Amino acid sequence: MPPESDTYMSPEQLQWFRQRLLDLRNKYLLDSANTTQELRKQDKDLADEIDRANSEFGYVIELRENERLGFLQKKIDAALARIENGTYGYCTECNAQIGIKRMAARPVATLCIECKQFMEQQERRAGS
């Protein structure tokens, strides 16, 4: 958990979040590199149709994982930019404090709980 402070998003807390985000980005970059390496190693000259189908399915899963990691890296970079411009930890919809506990659990969060719940309700209504 980030250090306690009387001030919301104190310099010490922001430094803690910055390091957490950098650590996550490094982990995702490593995971992405490993996924790419695995994709390159896959044998495409499999004679058996079942083996080939299984290999292709694994390939699709690996590609999706790589896309997901790329998406998360963009969110991390955006969070780091918010730290730099002083808006980290504040809801992008209503400008309320998101909260230290929520940010610790989801350091790329951009919405407070109320706005996130409202957005999810709107999505459910649109999907029905």
Residue 45's pLDDT is 57
User: Is the Cα dihedral 83, 86, 91, 92 positive or negative?
Assistant: negative
Tally of CB atoms within 10 A around 99: 15
pLDDT in tens, the chain (128 residues): 999 999 999 999 999 999 999 999 999 888 777 766 666 665 555 567 776 677 677 777 777 877 888 899 999 999 999 999 999 999 999 999 999 999 999 999 999 999 999 999 999 998 77
Q: Give me the pLDDT at residue 10, please.
A: 97
**Residue 112 backbone dihedrals phi, psi, to 5 degrees:** -70, 165
Residue type, 30: L
Q: Is 108:78 a contact under the CB 8 Å cutoff?
A: yes
